[in-house]
Amino acid sequence: MNPDPPDVTLVQSAKQGDSDALVQLITLYQNRLYRALLPVTGSSEEALDVTQETFIQVFRKLDSLKSDCHFFTWIYRIGFNIARTRQRRQRPDSIDTSQMMIPAQDQSAELRLESSEFQLALKAAIAKLPDDQQQVIILRELEELDYQMIADALEINIGTVRSRLHRARTQLRELLKDWL
C-alpha cells in the first residue's frame, strides 16, 4: 500500500532530522489519533496521555517506519498498544450504571441511538469486546478505514479483518439488544 504523498515527504524529512516536518506530522494527526484512542481508553484524559506518549514513541521509532506504510495506521498501532499496556497496569474500573436511564419505549429508534445513555452503553459494549475485535470496529466504524488499510495497520489479511468485524458486530448487537 502506498502512503499519501504529503506523508512520504514529511516522514522522509523527519527521518533526516527535520523537526519542523515532525511537528507538521504531529499537527496533522494528533486530533485524529486522539479521537481513535478515546473509545479504547474510555476517558478523554487517558486518551490525551496516550496520544502524547504515542508521539514520544513516534519520535524515538521513526526510523522503523517502513516506506510503504501509512503514517496514521502506524501511529494508531503504537497508540493502541500503549493504551492496552496502560490498562493492564491499572485496576479495571467498574461502570457506574446508576445514572443510566432506560429510554422510554415511545422514543423513536433514532433518538434512542443518539442519546448520551446509548453512547455510554456503546462505549461499555466496545470495551467488553476482545482487543482484536475492538481494533477492527474502531478502525472501520469510527476511523472509516477501508478493509485493506485495516489489514495493513494490524498486519493481518483482509479475510481476518472481515471475520473479526463480523464477530465484533454480532457481539455488539447482542450486548446492545435492549437498545436496538
Mean pLDDT in order along the chain per 10 residues (180 residues): 66 89 91 89 90 92 82 90 85 46 47 67 86 90 86 89 93 84
In this structure, what DSSP letter does residue 93 have? P
Return the pLDDT at 82.
Answer: 93
Return the pLDDT at 115.
Answer: 66
Phi, psi dihedral angles at 5 (to 5 degrees): -55, -45
Judged by DSSP in three states, 85 sits in helix
Return the pLDDT at 42.
Answer: 82
Residue type, 167: R
Residue 2 burial (10 A CB sphere; 0-12, 13-18, 19+): exposed
Cβ atoms of 7 and 29 closer than 8 Å: no
Return the pLDDT at 114.
Answer: 58
Domains and CATH numbers, the chain: 5-89 (1.10.1740.10), 109-175 (1.10.10.10)
